[in-house]
Structure 1
Amino acid sequence: MQLLLIRHAEPTNARAETGVADPPLTETGRLQASRLPDALSPYRITRLFSSPQLRALQTAEPVAEDRGLAVEKVEEIAEYDYGHDHYFTIDAAKDVAPEAYQRILAGHLPHFVDEDAFRTRVRQGIDRVVETCDHAETVALFVHGGVVNIVLQELLDMPRPLMFPIEYASVTRILVSRTGARRVASINETGHVRDTLRV
């Protein structure tokens, strides 16, 4: 089985007056998402899974339309900010949340995140996807930078949870053997959106 972990495209910043912040994609984000059908054309994708957060669901839309596939929501693969009243891109966090920004740059999750609980939740979500798919399938999961990183930390035995700068609309490939063993095939493929990313 092949898992394509696709980070959502560029979202807006958001702070909810009441309830949960769930920002949509920016215009640049929609452009990035629109390039995914071509970028994923070499893969015979049979199923699409997504975090329930809007930025992931909107990133999945062009692929779902292109392939004629439904998007199946998996709550466990939501980002570590799921359910919070604010969301800031890393660029915005530099000014509005400098402590969290410095922690992320150092490879750590923000203080408000229970790292063990987040890791357990993501593992359960990935396991559920693997268990419900056939071994021969290639499936796409529309997720988040923290989710991709926590998966890579476990597979590569990395010392900190945020070791890779996973870019918007990037593709990371995980191979799952018949025995259930998993290995990393590629990380952060961005050729299809390189010109849209901020240096």
Structure 2
Amino acid sequence: MQLLVIRHALPLRSEPGEGADPNLSEDGIEQAKRLPDALARFPITRIVSSPQRRAIQTAQPVADALGLTIDIDERVAEYDYGLSHYVPIEEASEEDVQRLIAGHLPGNVDQDAFIARVNEGVADIVAGAGHEDTVALVCHGGVINALVHTIMQTERLLCVQVDYAGVTRLLSSRTGKLGVASVNGTEHVWDLLPRNQRW
């Protein structure tokens, strides 16, 4: 089976005390609207999402286009799930940017527990799919990095760049072992990514 792991589109910022579960921004809504066409070549049979709003709202246009429901799995929530606020990387402090570049999660996050939670959730998604199925999983940059880190045994947890609405393609063998086929496909949203709008 193949697993299309899609990072959520660009969300709004939330302030301390508002929780780390903001809605999509206007640009994020536009990014999400492009996903049905971008994914049309894949025979998607199931859509799974993190419980966080930015992931569900990103998955919704694909679900609407395919006439599928969105299954929620809390195990593929981001490491910030339950934290006090959310800051898009473009607005992050220099300290947070340097921490991410170094490949580390915030100090108050149990990295091993996070990786284990993500891998357990994805293992169940893979096990529940048929060999010919394609499942779309809409989640978060940290979740995608946890998967790539586990599969490729990278030195750092935060090992790959994952853009808003970027698509990472994983393939599962008949034994359930996952391999990375491609990382962070963004052609469909290239002009809507904040880092490209600055050029």
TM-score by length of 2: 0.95
1:10 matched residue in structure 2: 10
Question: Offset at 1:110?
Answer: 1.6
Gaps of 5+ in 1: none
Task: Please tell me whether the aligned partners of residues 100 and 111 of structure 1 are also in contact (alpha carbons under 8 angstroms).
Answer: no
C-alpha separation in 2, matches of 1:120 and 1:9 = 25
Deviation for aligned residue 1:100: 2.6
SS of 2:92's partner is helix
- In the TM superposition, residue 16 of structure 1 has moved relative to its aligned partner by 5.0
Match of 1:124 among 116, 120, 126: 120
- Give the letter for the 1:188 counterpart: N
Kindly provide the CA deviation profile for residues 104-134 of structure 1, in whole angstroms up to 9, marking residues without a partner as x: 0222112121110000000111011112211
In structure 2, the partner of 1:146 is 142
Give the RMSD, CA atoms, in angstroms. Answer: 1.1
Contiguous gaps of at least 5 residues in structure 2: none
The corresponding residue for 1:34 is 33
In the alignment, the residues of structure 1 paired with residue 64 and residue 88 of structure 2 have an alpha-carbon distance, to the nearest angstrom, of: 27
- Is the 8 Å Cα contact of residues 173 and 184 (structure 1) preserved in structure 2? yes
2:132 matched to which residue of 1?
A: 136
Runs (4 or more) in structure 1 with deviation over 6 Å come to none
Q: CA deviation at 1:65?
A: 0.3
TM-score, normalised to structure 1's length?
0.95
Task: Supply the distance in 1 between the matched residues of 2:173 and 2:189 (Cα, whole angstroms).
Answer: 30
Structure 1 residue aligned with 2:186: 190
Q: Given that residues 5 and 136 in structure 2 are in contact (C-alpha distance below 8 angstroms), is that contact kept between their aligned partners in structure 1?
A: yes
Aligned length: 195
Match of residue 20 from structure 2: 21
Partner SS, residue 42 of structure 1? coil
- Alignment-derived partner of residue 93 in structure 1: 92
